[in-house]
Amino acid sequence: MNETASPPENIVLIGFMGCGKSTVGRELHQRLGYPLVDMDQLIEERAGKPITAIFADEGEAAFREMEADVLRELARSKETRRIISTGGGVVGTAENRGLLKNLGYVVWLDAPLPVIMERTGKSRGRPLLHTGNPAAKIQALLEIREPLYQQTAHLKLDTAGLDSGELATGILECARYFFTHRPS
């Protein structure tokens, strides 16, 4: 018998640091019961150290290789209903962008610069922002990445002023529509 695998129904969260991917991911996981895959967490588990240490010991290029490897594995996996929370820089290569889009419904969580500044200022866990002028760094990265998020996402949501419950409700309704109507 010729069995056709059903197309993946993962919900993939992309977007800049501090835009709420992990928080909204947890909310979606609770609502749907789908397993939650946090790519940064997977990378840390595999490397046996936090992301700041990976950057410090091995450099950003090595981190990006690990990130791409984790994404390739997710793309090969037979598990097709997961919530996948990504790191902010995952859209940096064409290969990654293609894999993300094929994984399922891709949601770009966005926020204005002051909100990103406020949220990222609270933690030291983001090595790219360990600089004298984090605002300038964020702005420079956003300029490069916004078009990449745009071309990868099926949906863009501005997270400012909404809590994770409201965001999850919006995402679930749109994802349901997407999975029901996409061409087979």
Closest distance between ligand S3P and the C-beta of residue 43, in Å? 7
Interaction between residue 97 and ligand S3P (CB under 6 A): no
Residue 89 in contact with ligand S3P, rule: CB under 6 A: yes
Phi-psi region of 112 (alpha: psi -120 to 50; beta: other; left: phi over 0): beta
Tell me which residue has its CB nearest to ligand S3P. 87
Nearer to ligand S3P by Cβ, of 21 and 97: the residue is 21
DSSP character for 6?
Answer: P
SS3 per residue for 33-96: CCCEEEHHHHHHHHHCCCHHHHHHHHCHHHHHHHHHHHHHHHHHCCCCCCEEECCCCHHHCHHH
Q: Which stretch binds ligand S3P (CB under 6 A): 84-92, 149-157, 158-166, 170-178?
A: 84-92
Cα separation, 111 vs 170, in Å, equals 16
Site for ligand S3P in 18-57 (CB under 6 A): 21, 40, 51
Find out whether 109 and 157 touch, Cβ atoms under 8 Å: yes
Closest CA to 84 of 35, 155, 146: 35
* Size of interface with ligand S3P, in residues (CB under 6 A): 10
Q: Report the distance separating Cα 87 and Cα 125, nearest Å.
A: 12
Q: Considering beta carbons, is residue 87 or 104 the nearer one to ligand S3P?
A: 87
Q: Which of residues 121-140 bind ligand S3P (CB under 6 A)?
A: 126-128
Piece of the chain touching ligand S3P by CB under 6 A; list 5-13, 83-91, 102-110, 164-172? 83-91
| Half-sphere exposure for 95 (CA within 13 Å, toward CB) | 10
User: Which residues between 139 and 158 bind ligand S3P (CB under 6 A)?
Assistant: none
**Choice between 21 and 82, CB closer to ligand S3P:** 21
Question: Where does this chain bind ligand S3P (CB under 6 A)?
Answer: 17, 21, 40, 51, 87-89, 126-128
